[in-house]
Structure 1
Amino acid sequence: MPLPISRFSSSVTETFRTPRPRHAPVDWVRSLGRIARQRCVDLVVPVHEGTEILAGVLARYPELMPASTTVLMSRLDLVARLENKYEFQNALKEQGVPTLDFGLVHSREDIEALDFRHDETFALKRVYSRGSQEVYKVHPGEPLPSDLTFEPTNPWLAQRWAEGTSYCSYSVCHDGEIKAHAVYPLRYAIDGTSGLTFESVRHERITAWVRQCVKAFRFSGQVGFDFIEEADQKLWSVECNPRATSGVLLFDPETRVDRAFFGVNEDVIIPRPGARKMLGPGMLMYGWRKSSLPGNTFRGFIRDFRRTDGVIFSRRDPKPGLALPIAMGNVLAEAIRYRVNIPAAFLYDHNWDGASPVDG
């Protein structure tokens, strides 16, 4: 993007234009390596699905990144398996972790053959997707969605639907050890799926689950998990995001979460008690709608909006907030360029759907 919102922050000394990761992955990584060499960068922290693209290119061309620069991520085969929603469930099963019944779907015939098809509600979602886009809730006896399409390289995960409270976790890890950690319930969300507000809570069972999982995988980097806790306290993890997620927004500067990225802290860093953050522009566009929080009222939306800190507006760093219309113009231009909706446009240039970034 020509004018990213970070460019206006007093915390940022310099920004760079690079090729688009999704469309020119090798050139993108070559640019990152050039920047690292010129600016003597010690640590590269990839975010979103640029993690998988970076891992894939460096697996083939490690010389593109200077040997003196550390890249905070796990190896490609691990992040690729965790990113694939079906393979993630298989990985949990291999570790002996209970999962909701699931199956891989390449066709309508595969759906009909599912063991839980005729008497249970289940979810259908692409094995590679983000922001909870293209998620279908299929009820027993009802016809399948008419717009359901099948792609050989991106099949569907079918999984038993669980009703309960939705939680998300976010962690910074080094070699299977958690260095920073946050848990937050899903409240306001775009169509009930992609979070708009974040509130730090303590949930010891989720924390213990994450600790066991990242240790088993010896995971390094940022990782988020999505959970459903049923009324009988059964806890299920339904998705893994082996990269940065919105949970990082809960860490104020006073927490010194930067130490976690370098792995120099001994105690796990957590957000301050009661930390609440929101994506202000997203709340203004979607938060007042009934689909964002069932049972909420417009008065309730106004109350929650007023008492929640935005992640962009800050008295200590006001310019990004003032530059927000410019930054949103970048996103709108991406939406028009790729003919996608605004939530998809935020992510489109660095999405990864399992293909080798080198071979295409």
Structure 2
Amino acid sequence: MARTVLLTIGRLPKALELARAFKNYGYRVIIADPFRWHLTGVSRDVARSFQVAAPADDSEAYLDDIISIVERESVELIVPVSEETMYVTALKPRLDPGVTLFSMPQNLILTLHHKKRFIDFASALGLQVPETYDILDHRAVTLAETTDTVIKPIYSCSGRGVRYLKRGESIAQPPHSEHLIVQRRIEGDLYSTFSIAQNGCVCTTIIYRAAVMSGTVAVCFERIPKQQVILDWIDHFIRKTSYTGFVSFDMILRPDGQAFAIECNPRATSGIHFLKNEDLCTAILHVTGDARPRLRTALFMQQLFPCLTETQKSFFNRKNFRSNLHHLMTARDVTWQWRDPLPLLLMPIMASQIIARSICKGETFGEASTFDISWRERDTQNHINA
């Protein structure tokens, strides 16, 4: 009888990537998602899909729904995928010994997700990070007076609420806004990373950068050659934390060759698409020994429909249009497979909830796709009280 794996989101392409990998490895794949219909649900590699409570609305109901699915479907492995990871990791103490949750304990995950606490945590490990203060700290004012800064919510995701300020601009916190941090802006090249780790050992790390942007979210991305200083930073972090699970960083590589991590995403990111699908599962299960998972030959990957949208929007900007069109026509789509065509062909229907919210609320696709699964400040207070 096939073992069962539960993916805790299905609406995103990285969930589809994982579903295909686990099915190829012999698992029975099931999905839990607050959306009634979603991208991965129409894949031939998914056995069943369950609608659950939205964790951002009712985290306890969400966790109860997940536990019920685990017990009813005899799940052996739970793989959190995206922003819901912050909630799912609370399940660790409630799971039977025969059920594995591919992630770290919730306290560490929340520390890494918090934009200020991550900086403090990494600094304590001896790793390079930019000077960062709570916006109410008097040192934040001094920092903003002397250098360019970045202001962002402590639990920002998909670029939500991020502002770039020139030296001397006011950093006053707007009323009724989420709590903010002020960070020194590091000049250099911005890279994103995606790693899979097991017990403090790095199974693989992908370094990539944006090629086409939708707001502050990349919808077409380019894999770049290994940057050893970035790899060394990540290896040190994973070793010191004995990390297991997915972990991703946004890094700045300065012209002098020094690497700074500006934030951490303790979850999967788009870098997952650069791994050969048949090797992805072996990396997660750590059955490759010393062999590293193989990479796809494609250097550019895209999310077709968002990339198409951005290309159309740039029509009257000749430089951007030519670049976006080139990527649209040449980059490999992250969802398309001849043997499993429905996710791409039905994407406009499966993503209709996201599209509708994006239009009605004026949100980016990234914001609209995570609004009901993203961790909020009120969840932190509930976590402390619990």
C-alpha contact 1:127 1:156 (8 A) present in aligned 2: yes
Pairing 1:282–2:311 present = no
Larger RCO: 1 or 2 (CA < 8 Å, sep 6+): 1
Alignment of 1:50-61 (within 5 A): 50-56=84-90, 58=91
Q: Cα RMSD between the aligned structures?
A: 2.6
Of 159, 162, 169 in structure 1, the residue corresponding to residue 183 of structure 2 is 159
Give the structure-2-normalised TM-score. 0.82
Deviations 1:211-246 (CA, angstroms, capped at 9, x unpaired):
111111111111100011122222111010011111
Q: 1:114 to 1:130 in 2, by over 3 A?
A: same
Counterpart for residue 38 of structure 1: 72
**Structure 2 residues without counterparts, runs of 5 or longer:** 1-34
Counterpart for residue 351 of structure 1: 374
**Structure 1 residues without counterparts, runs of 5 or longer:** none
C-alpha contact 2:302 2:334 (8 A) present in aligned 1: yes
Counterpart for residue 162 of structure 2: 135
CA distance in 2, matches of 1:341, 1:305: 19
Pairing 1:122–2:149 present = yes
Alignment of 1:15-94 (within 5 A): 15-56=49-90, 58=91, 62-63=93-94, 65-94=95-124
> Displacement of 1:111 after TM fit?
6.2
CA distance in 2, matches of 1:273, 1:339: 36
Q: 1:111 to 1:290 in 2, by over 3 A?
A: farther
SS in 2 for 1:297: helix
SS in 2 for 1:169: strand
SS in 2 for 1:348: coil
C-alpha contact 1:189 1:287 (8 A) present in aligned 2: no
CA distance in 1, matches of 2:58, 2:358: 19
Of 339, 347, 357 in structure 2, the residue corresponding to residue 324 of structure 1 is 347
The aligned length equals 346
Amino acid of the structure 1 residue aligned with 2:174:
L
> Displacement of 1:70 after TM fit?
0.4
Q: Comparing 279-288 with 204-213, which one deviates more in the overlay?
A: 279-288
Q: Comparing 15-24 with 234-243, which one deviates more in the overlay?
A: 15-24
Deviations 1:14-60 (CA, angstroms, capped at 9, x unpaired):
1111111222222222222222223222210011121111223x26x
Alignment of 1:286-297 (within 5 A): 286-287=310-311, 289=313, 296-297=319-320
Q: 1:112 to 1:295 in 2, by over 3 A?
A: farther
Amino acid of the structure 1 residue aligned with 2:167:
P
Q: 1:15 to 1:217 in 2, by over 3 A?
A: same
C-alpha contact 1:103 1:114 (8 A) present in aligned 2: no
C-alpha contact 1:178 1:268 (8 A) present in aligned 2: no
CA distance in 1, matches of 2:60, 2:361: 21
Q: 1:330 to 1:287 in 2, by over 3 A?
A: same
> Displacement of 1:98 after TM fit?
2.2
C-alpha contact 2:41 2:48 (8 A) present in aligned 1: yes
CA distance in 2, matches of 1:189, 1:121: 23
Of 325, 335, 348 in structure 2, the residue corresponding to residue 312 of structure 1 is 335
